[in-house]
Amino acid sequence: MREALRLDGASSTYLLDTSSFGVPRCLYWGPRLGDLDEGLTLALAEPVPQASLDAPPLPSIFPEAGLGFFGQPALRGHRDRRNFATRFLLERALAAAGRIELHLEDPIAELALTITIAMDAETDVLTLTSALENRGKTPFSLDHCAAACFTLNGLIREALVFDGAWSREFSPRRAQLTRDALVRENRRGRTSHDRFPGLIAGERGFGDHHGAVYGFHLGYSGDSRIWAEILPNGACSIGLGESFAPGEIALSPGERYASPEVYAATSSEGLDGLRDRFHRFVRRHITRKRPPRPVHFNTWEAIYFRHEAKALSDLVARAAEVGAERFVLDDGWFRGRNDDSKGLGDWSPDPAKYPEGLGPLIAEVRAAGMKFGLWVEPEMVNPDSDLYRAHPDWAQNLDPLPRPTARNQLVLDLTRAEVTDYLFATLDNLLRDHAIAYLKWDMNRDLAAAGSAGIAASHRQTRAFYALLDRLRTAHPEVEIESCSSGGGRADYGALRRTDRIWTSDSNDALERQRIQRGFSLFFPPEVMGAHIGPALCHVTGRAHRLSFRAATALFGHLGLELDLRALSREDTAELARLIALYKRFRALLHEGSSVTLPVADPGRIAYGVVSADLREALFAIAQIDLPALDGSPLVRLRGLDPRARYRVRLLDLEAPARAIAVPHLARFQGDGVLLRGDALLRAGMNLTIPWPETALLIHAAAENE
Ligand code: GLA
């Protein structure tokens, strides 16, 4: 077929019609197609509706306003009030090695547009960008420029988006897609807790294991705008890009705006298909290859700001004793930092707490066989700090408007080179002078009054943050970095490309975590999901959970401990050590295998697991998050196993395995377990007991040689 460019992965095809002079349109994106016939373009031609323009513009991959496209446009802007309507012409289309590059030009508006679309042949994930260049002699005011737009077929009518709040990240919400655009705009200057820049669209009623679905994510840590709407022709139009404040971007002559990346995938088997594609893609292209991720001990919920030598020594000893491999010193270590009102900006050890600096503590940590990690929040400054007293002008401001504080802090203006140079030098020195293997990079507030020299600056601030991280990573490639922002406020692929782990949530409440981790895991694989065993009584929710539930929940991420180990009884210490050993035994499986979810009939349950690449081993969790709706024990059907293999299925011994509200059927799954064929486990399932609410069962399946 002429004029169509195609990208093929293992399971999908993306087809672009370049036969018109204008912006190409996507003819098809879905399950993989074979050879194409000439008639396909004709077969997919749009009829001209009554009461419309005679030749209505077809929804393209960069829909332009002004000449008759009435949906959400990809581009909004003007040149001194003119050129608000564009008409890009396709100059060149290059297609090679899984990548299409389109060069377009609008000679009247004097703009050039480059669109790139790449498909990763192994995972089928698309990476898309756009770039706009001002070829005129006067500035072009850019109000919006989509990074990528999609037109999906007329059966896509339902969306899944993620709302949230501090300690309640990744709260799923379903929305019907209608003619009224669903617009999700984040203007907080960080990825945010409440508007994760991603969206799933699918056939009505799509679920974990069924339905055609499309997943989208803008890999960006700043302001975002995502929309989905049904067009008059019935197609579903979706767009993702940065959100700009008025006047934020004015392209000077010759200047170019390059969008962040959009990542997109499709699956005809529901959300698990997307989850699998995104996880494999992140492993191949977003994160660095790393040796086994060490078990963390983090000091925050153990001592908060009270850093005392004796307490720290005890914690070092106890952390090593239970099996921690990295000791992360959280907030409270630097000059004047006794609470959250002071010190941010003054990144040298507090002489009152560390009279000889951090050296002795680091030596102790290393002598105990652990690596050392340190908490920093470089982008921030407390007004009560030496840095602010010396450079009040370094804080972002829109003087003479007030400077609103959050957690008593202001944001440094990273668009100023002297500020990022200072931050780079400070961090560089810290890393040069100490054996620091890990930075927990925090960012604890929204940008408000996100301006610099009177002009909106969220875009420039975000890019400067990336540049600072890139510079530091180049200088210290061996140092791992965690992206934290009051918990999971900076979870996105833009941040993850420059870091190694995401702090998922400040809530270590295992019940909340079950829900949060489920949403998070759609886009991120388990090994980047920071998951800690907190204290029995959660400081965020006041709920108490038994150790077994906290451990079973944290096991499915990158495990850490964040509790006062000094307060544990002997028995609990031994139990914790046993659970950490259990985690280490399964770490490779958990961090390299494929994540699956299990179907549950009972809304009071969340069930999921990880299966090894060769399908020989799997670990599943059945978390009872609420009382069951029914008396009977619902069947558990496993997923991802080899139907022909025979598995030994065992219940892993947690703290209180036999405690249950139904007659326990569990005994036969303990000890040597039960031998069952994969097809029976997948199709017939198992009748396990109903555990107490807020407990979990862990099921291990290992294939036997026949
Ligand atoms: C943020 C982080 C926490 C902790 C505190 C320290 O809230 O999300 O994990 O590091 O800051 O002040």
Taking CA atoms, 54 is separated from 19, 67, 70, in Å, by 19, 12, 15
Task: Say whether 321 sits in a helix, a strand or coil.
Answer: helix
Distance 329 CA to ligand 1 centre (A): 11
Q: What is the pLDDT of residue 691?
A: 81
295 in Cβ contact with 583 (< 8 Å): yes
Ligand 1 pocket: which of 375, 377, 507 to mutate (most atoms <8 Å of CB)?
Answer: 375
How many CB atoms neighbour CB 367 within 10 A? 10
Q: What is the pLDDT of residue 660?
A: 58
Burial of 347 (0-12, 13-18, 19+ CB in 10 A): buried
554 membership: H or E segment, kind and range: helix 547-554
Q: Round to whole Å and give the CA distance between 658 and 665.
A: 9
**169 CB near ligand 1 (under 6 Å):** no
Distance 431 CA to ligand 1 centre (A): 21
176 in Cβ contact with 202 (< 8 Å): no
**300 CB near ligand 1 (under 6 Å):** yes
Taking CA atoms, 386 is separated from 343, 353, 377, 648, in Å, by 8, 18, 15, 62
**508 CB near ligand 1 (under 6 Å):** no
For residue 206, what are the contacts with CB-CB under 8 A and spacing of at least 6?
A: 158, 200, 212, 213, 270, 271
Q: What is the pLDDT of residue 278?
A: 98
**506 CB near ligand 1 (under 6 Å):** yes
pTM for the structure as a whole:
0.97
Which residue, judged by its Cα, is nearest atom 1 of ligand 1?
Answer: 486
Task: Say whether 154 sits in a helix, a strand or coil.
Answer: coil
Nearest CA among 217, 345, 278, 296 for reference residue 480: 296
Distance 386 CA to ligand 1 centre (A): 22
Which residue, judged by its Cα, is nearest atom 6 of ligand 1?
Answer: 331
Is 506 labeled as catalytic in the residue annotation? yes
User: Cα–Cα–Cα angle for 273, 199, 6, nearest 5°?
Assistant: 60
**444 CB near ligand 1 (under 6 Å):** yes
Distance 380 CA to ligand 1 centre (A): 13
For residue 313, what are the contacts with CB-CB under 8 A and spacing of at least 6?
A: 364
Is 442 labeled as catalytic in the residue annotation? yes
pLDDT for 43-66, tens place per residue? 888 888 889 999 888 889 999 998
Which residue, judged by its Cα, is nearest atom 5 of ligand 1?
Answer: 331
Lookup: tokens for 207: 């679920």
Phi first, then psi, for residue 158 (nearest 5°) are: -135, 140
Burial of 477 (0-12, 13-18, 19+ CB in 10 A): exposed
Residue the block writes with tokens 């170019």: 256
Q: What is the pLDDT of residue 657?
A: 46
**334 CB near ligand 1 (under 6 Å):** no
**Mean pLDDT of successive 10-residue stretches along the chain, which has 706 residues:** 85 95 96 92 86 90 94 97 97 96 98 98 98 98 98 94 98 98 98 98 98 98 98 95 98 98 98 98 94 96 98 98 98 98 98 98 98 98 98 97 97 98 98 98 95 97 98 98 98 98 98 98 98 98 96 98 97 96 97 97 92 98 89 86 97 63 69 94 89 91 94
pLDDT for 176-193, tens place per residue? 999 999 999 999 999 999
Annotated catalytic residue: which of 331, 442, 492, 602? 442
Distance 533 CA to ligand 1 centre (A): 15
For residue 391, what are the contacts with CB-CB under 8 A and spacing of at least 6?
A: none
Annotated catalytic residue: which of 506, 509, 602, 642? 506
619 membership: H or E segment, kind and range: strand 617-624
Distance 486 CA to ligand 1 centre (A): 6
Q: What is the pLDDT of residue 658?
A: 47
